[in-house]
Chain A
């Protein structure tokens, strides 16, 4: 196939993937809506159990307390609605897989069209970075039971892809000479994958804060919003966020503190020059180091750490979007 043909295929696949991600998002939104309805019916019964169990069910580690009473509650909800709920969840995941395959195809054909790695400008970095979010989510979705993240992930990916296709599109072309290096390949793929994990970890941390607040309210004798009951316990989500971010941190360290400097040394003759992009990468790194410390510091565990993880995510996004658009530096991409 000719580069033009590849480019056409890519330009077809990316919008299609966007639409299917959006459909997956609708399906997950229905899942949340159904969850609300389904749990509301059994709310009264569960509330009793939660309060009676002295909070252990909601604050304990699931491995500490293997039999979470809330699970043993006889199902008062109609089986039909639970089935529909599961179906919505499964359809959402299935659509996400389908969109992901098309998305992957779109990124690969884009690379083939340009004759190089597909992250030479902001359009390409957007489609690749959102692909990384989808990859990290799909890798971890079974292992860490991340189904509850479907809505957030499909929203983020569909939004980034849509924005890229509408506002950032740049036709495929070769690279400016400074970007010719295999260290660029390593540097950017490490940054993109860890960025995907920061995003997933950030989304989990947001839901953690919501759930933890709801649990505190239950302990204080209040009730929990119906849709939140289907989320894992706050402690389990805290553990999930940690694992995803613990996966991201060494990769980010390698990407921005090893591969990046090596490439900068080749391209600009200095491995570190306090370029705005470098500064914000370091700030991101330091914030996540603070996150890992916070988890080991009394008074900062839990909510404090989760907030730092969210700050880290915003810093990462600012580095990618804000620094490119607002601050000029050596890292400005061709054709932003």
Chain B
């Protein structure tokens, strides 16, 4: 029984590799290819893929969180460089991970292409002859008749009714159904290739960037305007970017005001005006999480938001050295936001400030914190620094960090000088160094703009794969035979079948077929 199943599996599935390689290069190559496309190799490669994917979820990944990676490198002096060599900080682009899935897909192609031609041939093939010993098959039934009559015709009709494909042989019929199983299986594997091509396409030709825009300001789509930009390997530059521009007119956030989830975000909305091209008419759009704006295949997403205090700094000579909004970055869920204000043009000494914007300030035992994400009691709490004017270096500097290496902190009464301002208030700097005014604050939004071609292909691939999978898993191929023969002068009818999938209930079907055959021509009684 198992023997027969195995033989059939071997005939339809790929052959297991056997024996050592034949002599010669060709033989050896053929052997390697057979190894690579065997079912066991596929199994091993699937395991390796699963195993190889795991470290990327445990070790910080450069494309996801570069800061965590540098923290990790700083904290682990021996492990860090080792991980780096192994590509563990960028697992999914590492050579070894790529090798696993490329091998898997080569194996997949090598496996399904031959099976496709076997299948196409098999489609034209007729259901096979009954094996010699039907009584060794499951669900075997036999009964006797006075004469054969039209048993074969009745059987043919009955089997056709049961959606079998039927072939008559001398004194017997062979029937088979469930051809769609293998079709589904092939469709599944081919569609996986399609989906992978779609994914690869997107990662080659797509791009993704983020930019922080203060409400009231604008953005136009060119590489230089992004804070952070990741092109695909085959992305060529500004020519590949659709030339749209947008202005953030307004932003609104709503938070839970009471209850145990107080402070949890409930709603974010940004009002945009945009132009598809420089001469296109201006349109407006309400940008929300889950509702990106689609422009020429690129999509604009609302990723985050925060506060940008508007500050005016006057230097010791009474000139305005800085004026405008400075985006501060939220540090906790209540938007205690850290930021810096730089006035390198202040004279006689340059000025710099560092500290927090607190949307709902509360002076607790550990100093000022924000206790709610919305702006119920906004305050600016900062300390100041001064230093010698330095020549412009032209080196880009982070706008979120103050290089304090050549600066001195303001002191007052032997203590660090600190300002705490509500909107509209001003403070004088110590030693007549100038003044700072907290004019108010704006909100900013973080936008992500991305284009991922091939998404449709990937989606079509995986959807077809599911369709194929259903055929593969839920269609149950079955063979059935009916044979009439003479035995010691009596007419014996035998019915038997064979499942090629894990379906059960073969016995019931054979029984039903047998019953259908009997009344039409039965004159003698059955002999089980």
Contacts and interface: CB of A to CB of B under 8 A. Distances in A.
A32 to B, nearest CB: 26
Given A171-B261, A180-B289, A272 B199 contact: yes
B290 A267 contact: yes
Contacts of B486: none
Contact of B264 (A173, A292, A297): A173
A171 B264 CA distance: 13
A334 B264 contact: yes
A8 to B, nearest CB: 15
B286 to A, nearest CB: 13
A101 interface: no
A221 interface: no
Given A286-B49, A298-B6, A323-B57, A334 B261 contact: yes
Contacts of B470: 250
B182 to A, nearest CB: 12
A258 interface: yes
B233 to A, nearest CB: 16
A149 interface: no
Contacts of A254: 466
A66 B6 contact: no
Contact of A279 (B57, B266, B504): B57
B303 A258 contact: no
B450 A269 contact: yes
A197 to B, nearest CB: 13
Contact of A289 (B46, B138, B289, B474): B46
Given A250-B470, A274-B92, A323-B57, A266 B290 contact: yes
B462 A171 contact: no
A253 interface: yes
A293 interface: yes
A146 interface: no
A253 B465 contact: yes
A173 B54 contact: no
B526 interface: no
Interface stretch (B35-43, B80-88, B355-363, B399-407): B35-43
A6 interface: no
Contacts of A283: 50, 53-54
Contact of B303 (A174, A242, A268): A268
A274 B462 contact: no
A273 interface: yes
Contacts of A181: 290
Contacts of B53: 279, 282-283, 286
Contacts of A294: 43
Given A242-B502, A271-B452, A297 B466 contact: no
A168 interface: no
B64 A273 contact: yes
Contacts of A242: 502
Contacts of A80: none
Contacts of A315: 50
A246 interface: yes
Contacts of A298: 6, 16
B274 to A, nearest CB: 16
Interface string B445-485: 00010101001001100110110011001100000000000
Interface in A201-258: 239, 242-243, 246, 249-250, 253-254, 257-258
A309 B266 CA distance: 40
B265 A270 contact: no
A63 B50 contact: no
B500 to A, nearest CB: 11
A286 B452 contact: no
Interface size for chain A: under 10, 10 to 19, 20 to 34, or 35 or more residues? Answer: 35 or more
A176 interface: yes
B466 A250 contact: yes
A258 B290 contact: no
A250 B64 contact: no
A258 B191 CA distance: 13
A287 interface: yes
A190 B260 CA distance: 30
Interface string A163-177: 000000011011011
B138 A266 contact: no
A274 B450 contact: no
Contact of B260 (A171, A280, A290, A295): A171
Interface in A82-131: none
Interface in B1-22: 1, 6, 9, 13, 16
B57 A327 contact: yes
A320 interface: no
A258 B259 CA distance: 36
B299 A269 contact: yes
B28 interface: no
Interface string A52-71: 00000000111110100000
B213 interface: no
B56 interface: yes
A269 B448 contact: yes
Interface in B45-59: 46-47, 49-50, 53-54, 56-58
B357 to A, nearest CB: 22
B261 A335 contact: yes
A293 B40 CA distance: 9
A261 B461 CA distance: 13
B507 interface: yes
A300 B16 CA distance: 13
Given A174-B266, A286-B50, A298-B16, A63 B504 contact: yes
B471 to A, nearest CB: 10
A276 interface: yes
Interface of B: 1, 6, 9, 13, 16, 39-40, 42-43, 46-47, 49-50, 53-54, 56-58, 61, 63-64, 91-92, 138-139, 199, 208, 256, 259-261, 264-268, 288-292, 299, 301, 303, 448, 450, 452, 455, 458-459, 462-463, 465-466, 469-470, 473-474, 502, 504-507
26 contacts: A60-B1, A62-B504, A63-B138, A63-B504, A171-B261, A173-B260, A174-B266, A176-B265, A177-B267, A177-B268, A243-B502, A246-B473, A254-B466, A257-B462, A258-B466, A265-B455, A269-B301, A276-B57, A280-B57, A286-B46, A292-B473, A295-B502, A297-B40, A298-B16, A300-B43, A335-B261
9 A-B pairs closest in CB distance: A269-B301, A276-B57, A279-B57, A173-B261, A177-B289, A286-B50, A246-B473, A290-B46, A64-B138
Given A177-B268, A283-B54, 4 more contacts: A178-B290, A266-B292, A269-B448, A300-B43
